[in-house]
A and B are shown apart, each in its own frame.
Chain A
Amino acid sequence: GEDVEQSLFLSVREGDSSVINCTYTDSSSTYLYWYKQEPGAGLQLLTYIFSNMDMKQDQRLTVLLNKKDKHLSLRIADTQTGDSAIYFCAESLRDGGATNKLIFGTGTLLAVQP
């Protein structure tokens, strides 16, 4: 079935690196995404990776994709207190039409300690 799993909570100290992990189920997913949700706000797209890539780097963010294990990770370098938020991974599913549904994980609450 469709299921995207994440650990619920991660605590790091300011300046350290954070690694948020995600496992997904659909090997045919074409894209995988990371979203950030700050308190009282909507989900903000951080980055995405095409399924034929292993890694994507965007400033402090590094996404690693292991298709064999269906494992996705988001590394945040030099984590700041402003990075404290809930992080969602999502996989795309084709439903036979032109529109892809996204299946979201449960979210990982990242707490950055000063």
Chain B
Amino acid sequence: DAGVIQSPRHEVTEMGQEVTLRCKPISGHNSLFWYRQTMMRGLELLIYFNNNVPIDDSGMPEDRFSAKMPNASFSTLKIQPSEPRDSAVYFCASRHTRGAGEQYFGPGTRLTVT
């Protein structure tokens, strides 16, 4: 199994630009989670989906952030417009609703907004 796949691995962009982060969950998993990790705030849950439906987006910082999951094998997290304070590592994780609830993380996208 390839695990959770995220792209790009690194993104450097200028303030005001649109950023799109991509995630492919593990095949057969039906829940997907987006997290943000920073030194100051640690690991924060932004939004999660169950069977492609957004369940809880209360962690999304503001309206500049949006996430979609058009099908079971693909999700995007978009920031528009980006700001320097959005600089962080963004992780995607997936899990199957059966089992012990364990989540499997992708390698992350390191975003730098200048």
At the interface, yes or no: B100 with Cβ under 8 Å from chain A? yes
* B102 with A45: CB separation less than 8 A: yes
Q: Tell me how far the C-beta of A6 lies from the nearest C-beta in chain B, rounded to whole angstroms.
A: 10
* Complex: chain B residue closest to A44, CB-CB: B105
B105: which A residues are within 8 A, CB to CB? 35, 42-45
* Complex: chain A residue closest to B42, CB-CB: A106
Chain B interface mostly: strand
At the interface, yes or no: B70 with Cβ under 8 Å from chain A? no
Q: Tell me how far the C-beta of B67 lies from the nearest C-beta in chain A, rounded to whole angstroms.
A: 15
Within 8 A of B (CB), among A27-46: 30-31, 33, 35, 41-45
A88: which B residues are within 8 A, CB to CB? 43
At the interface, yes or no: B25 with Cβ under 8 Å from chain A? no
Question: Given A42-B105, A107-B42, do A99 and B100 touch, yes or no (CB 8 Å)?
Answer: no
Identify B91's interface contact among A42, A48, A100, CB under 8 A: A42
At the interface, yes or no: B31 with Cβ under 8 Å from chain A? yes
A85: which B residues are within 8 A, CB to CB? none
Chain A interface mostly: strand
* B100 with A48: CB separation less than 8 A: yes
Identify B102's interface contact among A33, A42, A106, CB under 8 A: A33
A65 to B106, CA, bound (A): 28
A71 to B97, CA, bound (A): 26
Q: Tell me how far the C-beta of A1 lies from the nearest C-beta in chain B, rounded to whole angstroms.
A: 14
Interface string of B89-104 (1 = CB under 8 A from A): 0010101010011111
A interface vs B, CB < 8 Å?
A: 30-31, 33, 35, 41-45, 48, 50, 88, 92, 95, 97-102, 104, 106-107
